[in-house]
Structure 1
Amino acid sequence: MKRSMNYLLLGAAVSALMLASPATAQETSADARGVVTAPDGSPLAGQTVTIRDTRTGTTRTVTTSSNGGWSARGLRVGGPYIIEVKSDAYANERIEGITLNLGKTYEANFQLDEIAGGVEEIIVSASALKSANVAMGPSATFNLTDLETAPSINRDIKDVVRMDPRVYIDESNSDAIQCVGANPRFNSLTVDGVGLNDNFGLNSNGYPTEYVPFSFDAIQQVAVEMAPFDVEYGSFTGCNINAVTKSGSNELHGGAFFDYSNDGLRASRLEGNPNYPNGDYTSKRYGANLGGPIIQDKLFFFASYEKLEGADLFNRRPGLEGQPDQATFDRIAQIAQDVYGYTVGDIVNSLPTEDEKILAKIDWNINDNHRLALVYNYNDGYHISESDGDADEFEFSDHYYERGAKLKSYVGHLFSDWTDNFSTEIRASYTDLDNRQISRGNNEIGEVQISTPEGVTVYLGTDDSRQSNDLYYKIWNYKAAGTYRLEDHNITAGFERADLELFNMFVQHTVGEYRFTSVDNFEAGLADRVYYGNAASHNPLDAAGTVEYAINTVYLQDEFSIPAADLTITAGVRYDWYENSGLPAENPNFVARNGFSNATNFDGRGVFMPRLGFTWDATDALRVHGGVGIFSGGNPNVWIVNNYQNDGFTQLQVSARNLNILEAELSGSGRPLADIPQSLYDSVSSGSANTGVNALDPDFKIPTQLKVALGATWDFDAGRFGEGYRLTADFLYSKMRNAANIVDSSLVQIGTAPDGRPLYASTNKANPVCVDNPIASGCARFGNSDYILTNTDGGEQKVFSVSLSKDIEDLGISWTLGYAYTDATDVNPMTASVAFSNFSGVAVSDANNPTEATTNWAIKHRLVGRFNWEHEFWDDNKTTLSLFGSLQSGRPYSYTYNDMGGYFDFTYSSFGDTVDDRHLIYVPTGKNDPLVNFTGALASEAAQDAFFSYLEEMGLMKYAGEIAPRNGFKSDWWGKVDMRLAQEIPLPFEGHKITAFMVIENLTNLIDSDWGVQKHAGYFGHINFLDATIDRATNTYNYSGFIDRDPQTLQVTSSKWEVRFGVNYKF
């Protein structure tokens, strides 16, 4: 679909900021085009073509050009439409029952017949034609029927888009969308053309809010675009999920729904183990929608409301495998009360949550040539979340926190046809979001971590990252675009702009963090480490950051047809450039250490994106599509905002070791755990600017991606196996260019490890002595690293997909089978929102230079199938059965060291950085490997036998004598089936019906508790199991112990079956 603007049109609008994009002006409508020919195939000029929307009576009239071509743009999505050709010389012809798909062009060609036997008009059903909605790149569109029949227990469009095999929803990670092997943060979500994706980059779910930010019943269609070669698409490198909302029509229509579940309608047993209770909870949702005319054929309204009163579930408790027993937790709680005067939170299985959505829309058909749409959207909801939820961690509920957000957006959209050949689109929108992260511990005490003999860390108090955390932003989007038809050419031009104002306060440790190596030390007050962070004023608001920036976009495109070759080509170019007035405060110590300033931003940087696409009707049944182009955007804004708040001035982080907090002098009232040790408090007061800094590489380039696609759709008959099959195949190749990466600029190579990897030291490069001798006394900068956002080469995605579908109308059956193969690599998966986590989250063989390897986001094989059956057992009351099943290969993971000790007294990891469990292991060739000494717990023959047996069992021995590769191992395959069963129930009023329905998520697990169970490695995919140090004298490894651990963890939430019952009323 292509729409844009004439050069004289004003501009303003859209989205993509800095690396990321606050919103993006994607398609919100549909187009139609075709060619009218005479009986002998010659083009007919001057014929009248009318396109009528039967819902609203809106009529668009165009005239064919000299080559018989016609087109209409900016049409409302959905239908049914009627397209009619009127001719003075030949019989009129019209097509009825047309449905227009979002962001697609409906092609309808007419070959008129002679007027014969008194027949002056020929009427054809759209279903009987080969006409189709056309896209140039790999994509999928889901209509209203798909939305209404999907087995969607969450009432979320993700339950629909997952039906495409290239789109994997990670149910173990907040339903993150992994599309064609790309980072979920690189996707974009647009609704009515306005971005509603997670602009800042904090949420794994891809939304700016905790739940889908709009009512499920408000959506008319959803499209997933992997590589749309239209230049109006931007601000993503993964995929764009584009939704358009419903509108009112000439008929009053509406409905209401209610659904319900509780703890008894969800699994409490997995793999035969009954120790997965749900607690006592209920979950109910209800809502209503109404649409209709205000003025017939002229003014329409639609409104939708939805409310959730649900629960979040927590699946860890005393006594589970690997967890401490109840007595340990009781003792910790008693110590907190008796020694520190603090009451810990309960151990809970569930806690209540809420979510509320409102959408209102006005459509005004000003006249047949101008259409205005106004949309208001509101969402406010929250989850209760765990802060530290890995298998080796346990939290009391006071360490949980409320993740919530309130979103409001306003959109105005004007479509105008000034002549048969010139149309324009103008859009303006405003969005604001107030994000909240509120600890259930209420900042009464800081975060407390207590290590137990089981290797589990127990948490209580206020999570360190939620002690001072607040986010608010506003986004203004503007767009002006126009299209001029010149014979066979649709020439589109446009200008867009997005402005963002953002306030972010993220200061860790303002109430402190206290780590104890045992329960006994917790009782004695002996803290192994204590952390405090704040502004020098001790007011965290003074450490907050405010950022304002914008992105401008211009584009020019020509879409032209070659009717003789049944070929349509789109060629265009898009250019994005950035404006950013504010700079991080320059830190002279950083400049002295690194030789460049940290006061750098994105101002003036731009990216040029040429694109070329085509569709070719090879035959009446075979359509080929493809293209090549550059895309950019999707990288979260939080990566940039980090640089404003972590400048070495704005906030300061200090720590102390081996401190008895019961005896130390404390600030304030002197209450341990609640008041900060005076020495740390005074250190922050001094305002030293010599701490670590986050900065942007002054040579940083905007990351882009080259996408090349080729695909085909074939409609065919299969003889004895029936007619009406559709086969679609696509290949997509994507190459990352200037991908984002984080490096630690304080690291200097000082040697080589036994296996050849570099050894580093973190040193003060501002001191000439340290430059000459990085390990000299006083040079260490452990804990004060400078993290630089920079570029790297490497990373690509190769995705092949195929799908086969068929409708058997006589039996009321439709089905689809799909498969996708994804081979994706990257250098740094950029898994987090802060610089340190992005640095430490990638497994490496070189601490400061990650190498290209399989990405964390790759699901290599994915098969999907959906089956719908509809039957009327009595009268016209439908019984509908919908099934969706998926089977996918597992998430990749890496084997890393666990405890590397320090190469020097002032270093943390033997390899020189501050993280030990990110380093890939060297796999010894055997007990006599000259590079490895077996010491400590591995000194005995029996222990070594067990160690090598483990390596063999885990598949590591095939890398003997080498460093095990990043993400060279795969978790188990996972599959499940979801089901929806619905029955219409008649009412005594014509056109009114009630539908009773049941949705079962993970029907496979309901049938057998061993089925549908998901297991995989943790989020970062690091299986840290081996303790080691490096012997400096001999330059050999000392392997001193290992953990015989299963690399995979049971994912409880995604594995459990759940049932929801509900009722839906429609009229």
Structure 2
Amino acid sequence: MCLLSLVGALAFAQEFGSIRVSVTDAEGTPLPGVSATLTGGKIAPMSTVSSVGGSLRFMSLPVANDYVLRLELPGFKSFIQERIGVSFGRDVNMNITLEQATVEEEVTVIGQSPIIDTKRTQVGVNISSETLMSLPTARNPWVLMTLMPGILVDREDVGGNEGGQQSSYYGHGGGRNDSTWSIDGGNITDNSALGAAPAYVNIASYEEMQVNYGNNDVKSQTGGVQLNLVSKRGGNAYSGTFYLDVEDGAWQADNVPQALKDVGYTAAGVDRVYLYGANFGGPLIKDRVWFYGSWGIQDIDALTLVGTRDKTWLVSGYAKLDFQLTPSTRLNGFLEYDDKKKWGRTNWGAEEQSPETYWNQIGPGFIYKGEIDQVFGNLYLNFKAIYTDGGFELVPVLGRPTGNTAGPYLTRYRVPTHYATGNIDDYGTDRNQLNLNFSGNYFMENFLGGDHEFKFGADYVTATVTTFDLYEGNLVLNYYGAESSFPTGEWWEAWLLRDYYIAYDFKRYSFFLQDTATFGRLTVNLGIRYDNETSGVAANSIPASPWLPQYMPQLDVPAIKSPVAWKTWSPRVSLVYDLTGDGKNLIKFSAARYGSQSGFGLASFFNPVGWTEIDVIWQDLNGDGSVTSNELFGLDWDDYSLQDPNDPNYWLWYGYFDPDDPTSLNIRNEFDSKYHSPRLDEISLSYEREILTDFAGRIEMFYKRSSHNTWTIGRNAAGVQDSQSNYYAAGTDPVTGYTIYGRTARYLASSFRTNYPNRYDVYKAIQLVFSKRLSHKWMMDSSFTLSDWKDYFKGDYIDPQNIEYYDGGVVAPASGGSGLTGIYVNSRWQVKFSGLYQLPFGFNISGTLVAREGYILRTDVLRARPGIGNAAIFGSPDGGGKFGDERLPNFWLLNVRLEKIFNLGERSYVALSADGFNLTNSSHALKQQTRMTAANFGEDMRILNPRVFRFGIRFSF
């Protein structure tokens, strides 16, 4: 068992795993004609013969750690190596020397696979299911991401309290939109929410979870974090697992500081968390047909800091069949079911909204996969198809909209701080996707002075989405404080809406080619990839708004093909040099250019009827809290006088229609003819050393430059683009000292989309990683990361407001929703440790420690900007400042597990466990009030959950 098997090559080199062997005699002369046999519990016996160059390989191997290799050649001692471990996408490279013999003899070696990969530069982590069950974690993918070197996650989980919502994560300068999800190498990334998974898979039911965070293989489109889940597979012996883990609020401490209790906060944490499930598989026909099945439930009942309940019920299961049709042909089928039910889902966080604004979530989904692979001598071919049938609905706890224009409306108070009340929107979406992938590997020895592995393939993705978003009364109310010139003395805005219905389709096709050539100690990887992405608008019907229907009428939208495509060439090159020739001291260099994922972003931009909105002033003249047409007004920015709301010249804002021709279905927005995918250029250098047979360390250095990101510029009715000259200095903010800018004219008629020509961000990092496999009763994985991630505008902006604050500041991606906002993810240092020690009498103790610099606080004041309205001005409390100057306190989290193993036989055992999460009961601040004019500025709004204990039992055979 290996804790976090940090490997240097796991970017899905094969669709399964492989063992590659070079056989020589004692003088180093290659031995041809060596008979090789590979056996294992999950395969039929495989045989081959070494080539003229003494090489042999076994391809398309399922994940397992019980492979046995036997080599035989007349005149030499037979060689047997047992307990060879294979991971998904990893090559096990072995150099074996056969000894001459005068009588028939054999040599048996019991050992693990090499800990360093000598051929590839990709870096990442493999986590086995056995390891997962032995660590004190909440057993979901996002918690495990917090243990990965250099990866940051937007929320901190204590004992599974965050397991009911997906987290946003970022690794080594890669954006959220560049992250991908796969099952057995098949792409399941949600194109409607790039970087997210389409389902809450039960990680305890999978064989491995692997994460690649740098130097991505040519099969990977982007330079972001690549996550792949490897399903379990039945073998020739029946095997399975049952597990039950229980947390209860009675086993939980209280860590809420008195200062927070004084303002009404209560103990957060969990009321209960139950994790239970079973896995079982085995042979239907020995060596020919195997089955595997899994079913698991996560019952999460969490508490928020304000005392409300957040209940989630996650059900996940899959069935799988594997067929060995011939010795060189394999086929498998896979079906997964996932369902999420959630009661009390928030949009902004429980501290920023009242309970009546919560959602209840419903909606199951399915994933279907079929795969076949074939070996013809030195040629390996693989084809897979994976279909995702997903979607969900967020139903307001007050009920779906009734069409009543009298409310209750969603109401957002913007001052003194943000807080929402009323009836939230009803949101539903159906998301389906098909991925077809063909790939191959061809091996050629002694060609152009070296040995070559040619990788080639094609990838096709097609996806559709239909979505609705409906608000009670077709509006949202916003309160911005006092305004003496208005009849009620208060500034209220009514954002008038048309019901939102969209239907999009997406297509991407890709081709890739790579050559991995070995010349003695030097390995060279040269690759090229091409991606072509488009998305279109499907036919759709949208009803009229009850407000200003002459401007937001009923429309029937026809199907529209994409007027633009992202066409991206992505070159990759890497070098590996074996300094000592024994595979124990390696220098690796890699350079690559990656494109990004567009998802449905292209279609949403040219859709003639997308999100339709008109913002006007509302004055509750009769004081009944309901909006009527005679209470809606436009605004003259020159004298703040109220005007006719039917005159577009006095609207505060509007979008996605032409006021001069509201029924028009012409595409108003325009793409630059040269608009293309953003670029991520990456250079990395690393040194890897095998310190001991089962202990390796490496130092990694990364330089990444992201450029040509998307830039959207407003235009007026004449098609003239907005410009810096449209903005003027209107005053100085007394708190930040920054200039407040006003706007002369509005540019709302349409938008022009292009790429930033000069703006870019740069990520630089140095990282130490150590990995110790389980031997001599202990194992360990640790990492230390120093990084710097900055953004530089280089004059690429229109509105100068806040540019001085952001230009040269850090890059800190904002939390991606899922019930959490206002978190800005950036840490310049991280320390991560996880380990296990085997005590006497069958006891194991393990732990994880994560420490990092505190995330960013984006402090602001709310000011009225002439010609624009109320807007945030960012800066430091002492004046001036850059984004990144203010931070939360440093963060750390310690979890510990004690486990007792009762061995029942050679392959079966029972494990009893006790986990302690946040063992020190720390109450680290995770979010604070950042409105500098608020009375509670700097007050904690979210803290780390308190210490809690979990007890469990696991039976495995």
Report the TM-score, using the length of structure 2 for normalisation: 0.81
SS in 2 for 1:67: coil
Which of the residues 878, 881, 890 maps onto 2:854? Answer: 890
Which of the residues 835, 841, 845 maps onto 1:867? Answer: 835
Counterpart residue number, 2:388: 431
Which of the residues 190, 206, 218 maps onto 2:182? Answer: 190
Mapped contact 1:515–1:527 kept (Cα < 8 A):
no
Whichever structure has more strand as a proportion of its residues is 2
Q: 1:711 to 1:305 in 2, by over 3 A?
A: same
Cα distance in 2 for partners of 1:656, 1:447 equals: 15
Deviations 1:294-344 (CA, angstroms, capped at 9, x unpaired): 11111111111111232242222xxxxxxxxxxxxxxxxxxxxxxxxxxxx
Deviations 1:796-847 (CA, angstroms, capped at 9, x unpaired): 211211123445734x22223320112112469xxxxxxxxx999x983269
SS in 2 for 1:398: helix
Q: 1:974 to 1:270 in 2, by over 3 A?
A: same
* Cα shift at 1:794: 0.6
* Cα shift at 1:665: 9.4
- After superposition, where does 1:897-936 map in structure 2 within 5 Å? 898-903=861-866, 906-908=867-869, 916-920=871-875
Q: Given the alignment of the two structures, is residue 1065 of structure 1 paired with residue 951 of structure 2, yes or no?
A: no
Counterpart residue number, 2:637: none
Q: Given the alignment of the two structures, is residue 658 of structure 1 paired with residue 619 of structure 2, yes or no?
A: yes
* Cα shift at 1:965: 1.7
Q: Given the alignment of the two structures, is residue 40 of structure 1 paired with residue 30 of structure 2, yes or no?
A: no
SS in 1 for 2:133: helix
Q: Given the alignment of the two structures, is residue 276 of structure 1 paired with residue 234 of structure 2, yes or no?
A: no
Mapped contact 1:473–1:503 kept (Cα < 8 A):
yes
Counterpart residue number, 2:251: 265
Q: Given the alignment of the two structures, is residue 359 of structure 1 paired with residue 343 of structure 2, yes or no?
A: no
Cα distance in 1 for partners of 2:869, 2:411 equals: 19
* Cα shift at 1:991: 5.0
Counterpart residue number, 1:137: 122
Counterpart residue number, 2:766: 800
Mapped contact 1:1002–1:1012 kept (Cα < 8 A):
no
Cα distance in 2 for partners of 1:580, 1:185 equals: 16
Counterpart residue number, 2:946: 1056
Any gaps of 5 or more consecutive residues in structure 2?
1-10, 157-161, 446-450, 541-550, 552-558, 632-643, 649-653, 717-721, 814-824
Q: Given the alignment of the two structures, is residue 402 of structure 1 paired with residue 339 of structure 2, yes or no?
A: no
Cα distance in 1 for partners of 2:798, 2:135 equals: 40
Q: 1:191 to 1:887 in 2, by over 3 A?
A: same
* Cα shift at 1:394: 4.1
SS in 1 for 2:863: coil
Q: Given the alignment of the two structures, is residue 310 of structure 1 paired with residue 285 of structure 2, yes or no?
A: no
Cα distance in 1 for partners of 2:302, 2:798 equals: 31
- After superposition, where does 1:986-1005 map in structure 2 within 5 Å? 992-1005=908-921
Mapped contact 2:290–2:321 kept (Cα < 8 A):
yes
Mapped contact 1:534–1:651 kept (Cα < 8 A):
yes
Q: 1:37 to 1:423 in 2, by over 3 A?
A: same
Q: 1:252 to 1:440 in 2, by over 3 A?
A: same
Cα distance in 1 for partners of 2:292, 2:704 equals: 40
Counterpart residue number, 2:432: 474
Cα distance in 2 for partners of 1:693, 1:277 equals: 51
Cα distance in 2 for partners of 1:513, 1:501 equals: 29
Q: Given the alignment of the two structures, is residue 460 of structure 1 paired with residue 418 of structure 2, yes or no?
A: no
Counterpart residue number, 2:289: 299
Which of the residues 170, 173, 192 maps onto 1:200? Answer: 192
Cα distance in 2 for partners of 1:450, 1:553 equals: 44
* Cα shift at 1:724: 5.6
Counterpart residue number, 1:767: none
Mapped contact 1:1000–1:1058 kept (Cα < 8 A):
yes
Q: 1:520 to 1:422 in 2, by over 3 A?
A: closer
- After superposition, where does 1:7-156 map in structure 2 within 5 Å? 28-52=15-39, 54-116=40-102, 118-127=103-112, 135-153=120-138, 155-156=139-140
Counterpart residue number, 1:218: 205
* Cα shift at 1:638: 5.3
Cα distance in 1 for partners of 2:64, 2:189 equals: 24
Mapped contact 2:714–2:749 kept (Cα < 8 A):
no
Please tell me the root mean square deviation across aligned C-alpha atoms, in Å.
Answer: 3.9
Q: 1:824 to 1:250 in 2, by over 3 A?
A: same
Counterpart residue number, 2:455: 492
Cα distance in 1 for partners of 2:269, 2:521 equals: 62
Aligned length: 855
Cα distance in 1 for partners of 2:201, 2:352 equals: 34
Mapped contact 2:481–2:490 kept (Cα < 8 A):
no
After TM superposition, the structure 1 stretch with the greater mean CA deviation from structure 2, 688-697 or 615-624, is 688-697
Counterpart residue number, 2:635: none
SS in 2 for 1:478: strand
Q: What one-letter code is carried by the residue in structure 1 that aligns with 2:432?
A: K
Counterpart residue number, 2:779: 814
Counterpart residue number, 1:230: 217
Cα distance in 2 for partners of 1:140, 1:798 equals: 21
* Cα shift at 1:249: 0.7
Any gaps of 5 or more consecutive residues in structure 1?
1-23, 317-347, 591-597, 671-678, 718-722, 763-774, 829-837, 910-915, 922-949, 957-962, 1006-1010, 1026-1041
Q: Given the alignment of the two structures, is residue 555 of structure 1 paired with residue 521 of structure 2, yes or no?
A: no
Q: 1:805 to 1:501 in 2, by over 3 A?
A: closer
Cα distance in 2 for partners of 1:226, 1:601 equals: 32
* Cα shift at 1:426: 0.8
After TM superposition, the structure 1 stretch with the greater mean CA deviation from structure 2, 55-64 or 490-499, is 55-64
Q: 1:796 to 1:48 in 2, by over 3 A?
A: farther
Cα distance in 2 for partners of 1:191, 1:695 equals: 37
Counterpart residue number, 1:324: none
Cα distance in 2 for partners of 1:499, 1:279 equals: 41
Report the TM-score, using the length of structure 1 for normalisation: 0.73
Mapped contact 2:256–2:267 kept (Cα < 8 A):
no
Cα distance in 2 for partners of 1:79, 1:986 equals: 19
Q: Given the alignment of the two structures, is residue 730 of structure 1 paired with residue 700 of structure 2, yes or no?
A: yes
Deviations 1:575-626 (CA, angstroms, capped at 9, x unpaired): 11124454999xxxx9xxxxxxx98946443100111123333222213333
Deviations 1:374-415 (CA, angstroms, capped at 9, x unpaired): 111111113345545469x64321111124542211111111
Cα distance in 1 for partners of 2:269, 2:129 equals: 36
SS in 1 for 2:293: strand
Counterpart residue number, 1:449: 411
Mapped contact 1:631–1:704 kept (Cα < 8 A):
yes
Q: Given the alignment of the two structures, is residue 964 of structure 1 paired with residue 881 of structure 2, yes or no?
A: yes
Cα distance in 2 for partners of 1:665, 1:918 equals: 32
SS in 1 for 2:619: strand
Cα distance in 1 for partners of 2:290, 2:659 equals: 60
Counterpart residue number, 2:589: 626
Q: 1:920 to 1:351 in 2, by over 3 A?
A: closer
Counterpart residue number, 1:674: none
Q: 1:839 to 1:375 in 2, by over 3 A?
A: farther
Mapped contact 2:14–2:60 kept (Cα < 8 A):
no
Q: State percent identity of aligned pairs.
A: 15
Q: What one-letter code is carried by the residue in structure 2 that aligns with 1:148?
A: M
- After superposition, where does 1:965-980 map in structure 2 within 5 Å? 965-980=882-897
SS in 2 for 1:34: strand
SS in 2 for 1:106: strand
Mapped contact 1:606–1:702 kept (Cα < 8 A):
yes
Cα distance in 2 for partners of 1:131, 1:123 equals: 22
After TM superposition, the structure 1 stretch with the greater mean CA deviation from structure 2, 290-299 or 349-358, is 349-358
SS in 1 for 2:330: strand
Counterpart residue number, 2:845: 881
Mapped contact 1:407–1:434 kept (Cα < 8 A):
yes
Mapped contact 1:224–1:241 kept (Cα < 8 A):
yes
Deviations 1:216-256 (CA, angstroms, capped at 9, x unpaired): 2221122221234531122x322111221110111111122
Q: 1:133 to 1:1058 in 2, by over 3 A?
A: farther
